[in-house]
A and B are shown apart, each in its own frame.
Chain A
């Protein structure tokens, strides 16, 4: 298709694509610009489109970049605490899900025991059920266990999704059986096989699950919103959403918080980009 294409056409196309990329980044670029402005300069109408992006002193109109907004926000908002809670929840949820799902997936893929296929069907049947359905009874259960506003409530219900088990089981089924048989003959236990053979061979699938679980937990909103009510137990999304109203006049502050929430996710994405895009297309599940 590209054989007869002129190089002029390719250059134009590339320029269009670059222009489009810049346009898509404008909301972020402008937010960064605003987050570096003096609070009073935020509400000044700029003289041109480009001038909107240049932080200036509200009186002297000199360029002045307010880096301290990025420091102040940590003092004014409990951003550090939100980060801490989010991190604990995401790390423990991810670890728990990968650990328990891979054990269960191994049982479903390789071990023979009565009731296995029926149980697996039960897992499959719940894959399609939206979170809105299970949310209300889970809320009641968490309340009865006196877990409201605790790490238990934030972590445990998100730890055992059927999806993780399903995905890993499908992957384990593609692994060659010979290695396992050889290990069994050599007297290796099932747990040893899981740890020494299955897990090392499944690194791509495990990494995909880790990334999705981590991002899913990091961005999760409705559940942490329901089960937390004090700022010290709030994750980043819930905390910022709840405090948004109190700081509606301090746009620069809230935007500097947003940018500081975006950056770690961008770094993670760029670092693991290949895995993520492959995983998305492979699993066919994008909206996790």
Chain B
């Protein structure tokens, strides 16, 4: 062997031995499952009998529609669309969280004493394990003895049956989500973004006699554009994957009113053992996340361009 070839072989060996452990795991538990999942999306498979090729059948059952005897157009799987509706409905807490987080970030940015302690307290709900938050809120939302309905009763009104009521279960999750998210990741991102705005902008505006509201409206808000967009996209991606809270608190009920997309995938795969169908659904979920991520990249690039 020529010396250069030998060196090349040795380099390759070193490189691959460093990679080996990680790459075997990555292949077995990520790369191969991704490919397998895509293949499975075109099969009917119940984890017992042999998989049966169904072409795009899973996707048409999931996304397609047909005309029933009365001539009405019906979705092939109305449950899926209902889950999509539930999932999107429960994302409505996102604007609430954003407004609250921004207000907190603006206040904390004033460098008041005790800011660090306050920030820690605001952050606690975010890092709390989901199971503990779920058990705590089950008790808070208890229709008879819960604290929320106690407060409502003091106003002379009887509070709703929250998690037992199809109309109130989704708003209950929005409430929990807002409580859990307001002082978390979103607030930290706003805080970082605010600290990144050069102080000279505000000084110049002040000299020109701009009111605090005008300074916010014409300096802060436009410069928060990229971070706003990032938060929205991350929030929507997270919202699409909502599962644990609903599983613990309502089991997706009452009457399926809190079953999310991720929950429906879980049910199809591990309760009904329709694994091909569930895989197809997971890819539809991925597609939605993918489109959002691409959008976010585009938008971000446009904004960095504007900074220049």
Contacts and interface: CB of A to CB of B under 8 A. Distances in A.
Nearest to B100: A20
Name the interface size band of chain B. 35 or more
B37 A134 contact: yes
A27 B137 contact: yes
By CB atoms of chain B within 10 A, which of A42, A236, A281 has the most?
A281
Nearest to B294: A128
B16 A261 contact: no
A37 to B, nearest CB: 11
Interface residues of A, number: 98
Contacts of B167: none
Given A31-B136, A133-B37, A251-B139, A258 B286 contact: no
Contacts of B270: 139, 226
Given A10-B110, A254-B135, A100 B32 contact: no
Interface stretch (A59-67, A173-181, A201-209, A216-224): A216-224
A149 interface: no
Given A111-B11, A236-B129, A21 B122 contact: yes
A87 B159 CA distance: 40
Contacts of A104: 18-19, 21-23
Interface string A148-168: 000000001101111001000
Interface string B11-50: 1101110110111011011111110110010000001000
B286 A222 contact: no
Interface in A1-36: 1-2, 5, 10, 13-14, 16-18, 20-21, 24-28, 30-31, 34
A200 interface: no
A160 B25 contact: yes
Interface string B67-85: 0000000000000000000
B202 interface: yes
Contacts of B285: 130, 132-133
Interface string B122-151: 111101111110111101100011010011
A55 interface: no
Contact of A24 (B121, B132, B199): B121
Given A190-B14, A222-B244, A237 B129 contact: yes
B184 interface: yes
B139 A49 contact: no
B155 to A, nearest CB: 12
B124 A25 contact: yes
Contacts of A25: 121, 124
A275 interface: no
Given A24-B125, A137-B40, A103 B131 contact: no
A45 B130 contact: no
Given A13-B110, A141-B28, A237-B131, A132 B147 contact: no
A17 B215 CA distance: 22
Contacts of B132: 258-259, 261-262
A134 B286 contact: no
A245 B145 CA distance: 18
Contacts of B275: 136, 140
- Please indicate which of the listed interface residues A49, A143, A194 has the most CB atoms of chain B within 10 Å of its own CB: A49
A258 B136 contact: yes
B26 A123 contact: yes
Interface string B102-135: 0010011011111000111111110111111011
Given A21-B121, A104-B23, A236-B131, A221 B244 contact: yes
Nearest to A26: B147
A266 B130 CA distance: 13
A237 B247 CA distance: 11
Interface string B194-208: 000001001000100
Interface string B175-191: 00001001111001100
Given A30-B140, A107-B18, A116-B15, A14 B130 contact: no
A231 interface: no
B238 A287 contact: yes
B82 to A, nearest CB: 18
Contact of B15 (A34, A112, A135, A277): A112
13 contacts: A10-B110, A42-B145, A113-B15, A126-B34, A133-B283, A133-B285, A136-B279, A138-B33, A222-B266, A241-B134, A273-B123, A281-B188, A287-B237
Interface of B: 11-12, 14-16, 18-19, 21-23, 25-26, 28-34, 36-37, 40, 47, 104, 107-108, 110-114, 118-125, 127-132, 134-137, 139-140, 144-145, 147, 150-151, 154, 179, 182-185, 188-189, 192, 199, 202, 206, 212, 215, 230, 234, 237-238, 240-241, 243-244, 247-248, 262, 265-266, 269-270, 275, 278-279, 282-283, 285-286, 289-290, 293
Interface of A: 1-2, 5, 10, 13-14, 16-18, 20-21, 24-28, 30-31, 34, 42-43, 45-46, 49, 52, 99-101, 103-104, 106-108, 111-114, 116, 119, 122-123, 126, 128-141, 143, 156-157, 159-162, 165, 190, 194, 215, 218-219, 221-222, 225-226, 236-237, 240-241, 244, 251, 254-255, 257-259, 261-262, 265-266, 269-270, 273, 276-277, 280-281, 284, 286-287
Q: Which 8 A-B pairs have the closest CB atoms?
A: A160-B25, A113-B15, A286-B185, A104-B22, A107-B18, A137-B36, A137-B33, A134-B33
